[in-house]
Chain A
């Protein structure tokens, strides 16, 4: 952010917080609307209208402006960005997948996860769609649809803490059986170097390490970590999305009006 812009923000924030000037508050909201829109756009593919998400993001922006401590040496952009993203994520989390995904498909998704485990052991390889359909006694199209809803859920649940019950743990009891036993030194070292790595928890780092740096397949990771292959898939996608978001937030901090 440019120095004049920063000074202008501080002046408006002072006028609002110290003198109760609501017009200054309104000007700040208008000034930061492009930032809200830019952040909202990243989430608009999840089935929500962009304008609705902009409205939700604006609530985060207003909260940030209202709670901002003028005497602290932090820029409004730095403070507002996580507030806006947090409000949008909360919006999705509150809605959950039950809103849009039919219960039958949710249940089939859970069944497929278990069948995937059983068939992988039985066949000593990842099953095909046809094999899954046969085992679940459904059509191949239904398998594809259920797997797709699983992806939709994975995307919606980005904000959920891993292992916290919102990312599918509660849907798949098999996934809670194992524990990660390997050491984490390598992935911890990587966290020092790679900014995105820092937003991941230990399990997520370990899984990315195994998949991308050690070349293990999802089944092999599932076996090693003690969770289902489907959950490994969800965690990989979620971790990569978290890294992308972290990198994008860093970029937004540098270019708030982009």
Chain B
């Protein structure tokens, strides 16, 4: 199965709740374990909470599911600040750097350029049979 969900919200803190709820609805639809949902929410929230990554008034979330992976792209983002944070050592970042956080919660992640803007692409492997929709 391959599905895509696209959500665009204002890049403002109150909308993080909306994003969390949408991700929750998605997890319910796909029958994902609560822990998987928690990981995805934490990764996405961490990005949306950082105003330094905002390049416009809106931010989009693209979610793709292909059965074995949950792929999420967030953007457009300020790629300079994002890349710098991904490269910052954990100690310098206060203990848990962005790269470590994304690796632990999502797995693969990279910054992709689209129309001159940065998009963070993350790919979380799902356990066999985890997505059942």
**Which residues does A use to contact B, with CB under 8 Å?**
44-47, 116, 125-130, 132, 140-141, 143-145, 147-148, 151-152, 190, 193-197, 200, 208, 211-213, 215, 217-219, 229, 233, 236-237, 240, 243-244, 246-247
A240 touches B46 (CB 8 A): yes
Q: Which of A132, A194, A211 makes the CB contact (< 8 A) with B90? A: A194
B7 at the interface (CB under 8 A from A): no
Q: Which of B12, B24, B32 makes the CB contact (< 8 A) with A45? A: B12
10 closest A-B pairs (Cβ-Cβ)? A45-B13, A196-B94, A194-B95, A126-B33, A129-B28, A126-B35, A243-B94, A197-B95, A144-B24, A193-B91
Distance in angstroms between the alpha carbons of A131 and B33 in the assembled complex: 9
What is the interface of chain B mostly: helix, strand, loop, or mixed?
A: helix
Q: Which residues of B contact A148 (CB under 8 A)?
A: 17, 20-21, 24
Give 6 A-B contacts (CB < 8 Å), ordered by A residue. Answer: A45-B12, A47-B14, A194-B92, A194-B95, A196-B93, A212-B104
A140 touches B28 (CB 8 A): yes
Q: Which residues of A contact B36 (CB under 8 A)?
A: 126
Q: Which residues of B contact A200 (CB under 8 A)?
A: 95
Distance in angstroms between the alpha carbons of A47 and B36 in the assembled complex: 27
B34 touches A128 (CB 8 A): yes
Nearest Cβ in chain B — how far from A195, in angstroms? 6
Distance in angstroms between the alpha carbons of A61 and B13 in the assembled complex: 25
Nearest B residue to A199 via CB reads: B94
Q: Which residues of A contact B35 (CB under 8 A)?
A: 126, 217-219, 229
Nearest B residue to A147 via CB reads: B24
Nearest Cβ in chain A — how far from B33, in angstroms? 4
B66 at the interface (CB under 8 A from A): no
Tell me the number of A-to-B contacts counted with CB atoms below 8 Å: 97
A215-B104, A218-B38 known; A128 and B24 CB under 8 Å?
A: no
Interface size class of B (residues with CB under 8 A): 20 to 34
Q: Which residues of A contact B21 (CB under 8 A)?
A: 144-145, 148
8 Å CB interface, B57-101 against A: 90-96, 100-101
B20 touches A151 (CB 8 A): yes
B27 at the interface (CB under 8 A from A): yes
B101 touches A244 (CB 8 A): no
B93 touches A236 (CB 8 A): no
B31 at the interface (CB under 8 A from A): yes
B100 touches A194 (CB 8 A): no
Distance in angstroms between the alpha carbons of A244 and B42 in the assembled complex: 14
Q: Which residues of A contact B25 (CB under 8 A)?
A: 141, 144
